[in-house]
C-alpha cells in the first residue's frame, strides 16, 4: 500500500516538476520576444545595463486542498500556490532561468512553475535578433 501511494503521488506530480527542470536549460538562449510570445508579458522588468535585464513572470494556481485518504496515509491534490519565473537576459538572449514561489509539496516542488513554461517548451520559437536589438524597445 505504501508503494502504491508513493507511485500515485509521484505520477500525479512529476510532470510539472520535469517541465520546470527542463526549462532551466532548454530556455537558455531563447530571445526576449520569443519568451514574451509563449509566456506573455512579464509582470516585472529590471534593467541592469543597456544590454542586461532581469524579467519575472508570475503564475498563480488557485484552488483548495483536496484530501484523499488511504487508511492512515493522506494525499493532497489541487493546492494553491504561486510561481515566479525569473529570467536573466544578456543582449536579448536568456542567460539563466530560475524559479521562486510557494512549493506544492515534497513530491513536486516545481509543478506550478512547470505550468508556466509548458507552452515555451512545446512550441519554442527561435527568432534571431537584429544586431541593433534593444530590450528597452520592448517597453513601448
Q: Domain extents for the chain?
A: 2-126+134-139
- Look at residues 138, 140, 134 and name the one whose alpha carbon lies nearest to residue 49: 134
Per-residue DSSP letter, 78: S
Query: How distant, in Å, are the alpha carbons of 15, 52, 72, 115 from that of 112?
Result: 10, 27, 27, 5
Q: For every one of its 140 residues, what pLDDT tens digit does the chain have, with 9 covering 90 and above?
A: 444 443 444 444 445 678 888 999 999 999 999 999 999 999 999 999 988 999 999 988 776 555 556 666 555 555 677 889 999 999 999 999 999 876 555 545 567 888 888 899 998 888 888 887 776 655 54
* 9 backbone dihedrals φ, ψ, rounded to 5°: -65, -45
Exposure on the CB side of residue 64, measured as CA atoms within 13 A: 2
Amino acid at each position: 500500500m505504501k508503494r502504491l501511494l508513493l507511485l500515485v503521488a509521484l505520477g500525479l506530480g512529476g510532470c510539472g516538476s520535469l517541465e520546470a527542470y527542463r526549462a532551466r536549460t532548454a530556455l537558455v538562449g531563447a530571445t526576449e520576444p520569443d519568451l514574451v510570445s509563449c509566456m506573455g508579458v512579464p509582470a516585472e522588468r529590471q534593467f541592469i545595463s543597456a544590454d542586461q535585464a532581469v524579467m519575472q513572470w508570475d503564475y498563480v494556481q488557485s484552488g483548495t486542498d483536496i484530501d484523499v485518504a488511504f487508511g492512515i496515509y493522506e494525499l493532497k491534490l489541487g493546492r494553491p500556490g504561486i510561481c515566479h519565473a525569473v529570467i536573466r537576459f544578456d543582449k536579448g538572449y536568456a542567460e539563466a532561468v530560475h524559479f521562486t514561489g510557494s512549493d506544492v509539496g515534497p513530491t513536486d516542488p516545481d509543478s506550478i512553475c512547470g505550468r508556466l513554461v509548458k507552452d515555451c517548451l512545446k512550441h519554442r520559437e527561435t527568432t534571431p535578433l537584429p544586431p541593433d536589438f534593444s530590450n528597452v524597445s520592448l517597453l513601448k
